[in-house]
Amino acid sequence: MTEKVKVVTLGCEKNLVDSEIMAGLIHGRGFQLVDHKEDATVIIVNTCGFIDAAKEESVNTILDMAELKQTANLKALIVSGCLTQRYKKELMEEMPEIDGIVGTGDFDKINQIVDEALRGKKPVLVGNPVFNYDADLPRQVTTPRYTAYVKIAEGCDNACTFCSIPIMRGKFRSRSMESVISEVTQLANQGVKEISLIAQDSTNYGTDLYDGFMLPTLLHKVSEVPGIEWVRLHYAYPGFFTDELIEAIASNPKVCKYIDMPLQHSEDRILKLMRRPGRQKDTRELVRKIRERIPQVALRTSLIVGFPGETDEDFENLKQFVQDMQFDRLGVFAYSQEEDTPASRLPDQVPDDVKEFRANTLMEIQRGISNLRGGNRIGQEIDVLIERYDGRSDVYVGRSQYDAPEIDGEVFVANARLNIGELARVRITHSFEFDFSGEVIA
């Protein structure tokens, strides 16, 4: 009997790529991949362990999947990813429902884990997180046929005091440029038009393999692959955002004028406690240079509120910073006290209710900014990647280069017959809180 395998992915896009690699290996093994958990004889839960909420979601998902052993055909429940890398012992001791564990450095051995789990061995394979996938590994892309994520590096060397990523993912290590281009070429041959380059620290790409910062060169090489129309950059660490990178984004028509650059805070004292690069004046100067050279750029950032020692005055200054900077997109996270991180041992931890209030306050400020920034796009003519048709409203729905998959806004187009996956030229006519509507230009 051919085993039926369901892969459940939690967390970020980097986790999604890992799941797609495991699915590719499983498919190559001859097992059948299924969409519904009820049909599976093997379930793999690829977990996130970044913050408390993510860990809680991971544990609850594992328990939900385990119930299928009583009601469905489930033979083996495998757990992988960040949570296993960090808590393998606790998971095996406290959750006997788990039949096997694989860490972030051993995804390429998933078939071995599945085979042993089906034989009742309860395998645990969690070594040093050194694995970095190559274009030669099979991959089952699960995103729509016109878009895909490509991981250009793994791990992180920045040692921010609040972050557990180095614990779970190891030191920073780039993929070779040849490997990345080979994978992008394979994806383009399958019909992918939009490539989103991802890493925990994308701006540091290449410094461990080549002589200097190589992300600008990589952007140009990816854009030269036949069939690729959009190249999108995620998680640009501000400390390594060079003038050459700004120029590459500004001058290359295929590189989306979209920058996802997590800043985490505005106040110098907090940034120092976080062990983040530069100070507020450096951030303001960097944003000024970016907007001067790329006038239509959409800037997304993320901020942490309630970091240990953050005072009312710090928060008031952070609010003013958000007002001043007028980011197009903003994500706000309440600080999560992660064990084994330096920040977890800092004094003056902020109460949860204060953190929640501050997060909600910042998001309310951002709603007004998003409305204002969005209104400035009315009348613009932009390319929209059509993603679906909404039959109830008789509109097509897509994204512009200023909107990343899943996390940003959409564009509604009502006056034409379009094809899913095509780029349509659209004039923006209306702006909503995060979305737009427009008309196709003949």
Which two tokens mark 22?
A: 């495991």
- The whole-angstrom separation of Cα 333 and Cα 345 is 19
Q: What percent of the chain has pLDDT over 70?
A: 100
Query: Mapping DSSP to helix (H, G, I), strand (E, B) and coil, where does residue 140 land?
Result: coil
CATH architecture classification, 4-125? 3-Layer(aba) Sandwich (3.40)
For residue 170, is pLDDT > 80?
yes
312-348 burial string, b = 16+ CB within 10 Å, else e?
eebbebbbebbeebebbbbbbbbbbbbeebebbeeee
Q: Which fold has domain 147-376?
A: pyruvate-formate lyase- activating enzyme (3.80.30)
Q: What is the C-alpha to C-alpha distance for residues 233 and 242, in angstroms, rounded to an integer?
A: 14
Which pLDDT band holds residue 374 (cuts at 50, 70, 90)?
confident
User: Looking at this protein, which amino acid is placed at residue 370?
Assistant: S
CA-to-CA distance for 256 and 119, rounded, in angstroms? 48
- What's the pLDDT band for 416 if we cut at 50, 70, 90? confident
Binding-site members for [4Fe-4S] cluster are 12, 48, 82, 156, 160, 163
pLDDT tens column, 236-253? 989 899 999 999 999 999
Can you read off the two tokens belonging to residue 341?
Answer: 């991180």
Domain 380-440: state its class.
Answer: mainly beta
Q: What is the largest CA-CA distance in the chain?
A: 65
Work out the angle at residue 204's Cα, subtended by the Cα atoms of residues 166 and 136, and round it to the nearest 5 degrees. 80
Q: Is it the case that residue 234 has pLDDT exceeding 80? A: yes
| Res 38: pLDDT | 93
Q: For residue 126, report the phi and psi dihedrals to the nearest 5 degrees.
A: -135, 90
Question: Binding site: which residues?
Answer: 12, 48, 82, 156, 160, 163
Q: What is the pLDDT of residues 28-76, one digit of tens each?
A: 999 999 999 999 999 999 998 877 888 889 999 999 999 998 887 899 9
pLDDT at residue 133 tops 90: no
Q: Which residues of 427-441 are buried (b: 16+ CB within 10 A; e: fewer)?
A: ebeebeebbbbbebe
Domains of the chain, residue spans = 4-125, 147-376, 380-440
Strands 381-390 and 395-400: antiparallel
Q: Determine what percent of the chain is predicted with pLDDT higher than 90.
A: 79
Q: What is the DSSP string of 55-90?
A: HHHHHHHHHHHHTHHHHS---EEEEEEHHHHHHHHH
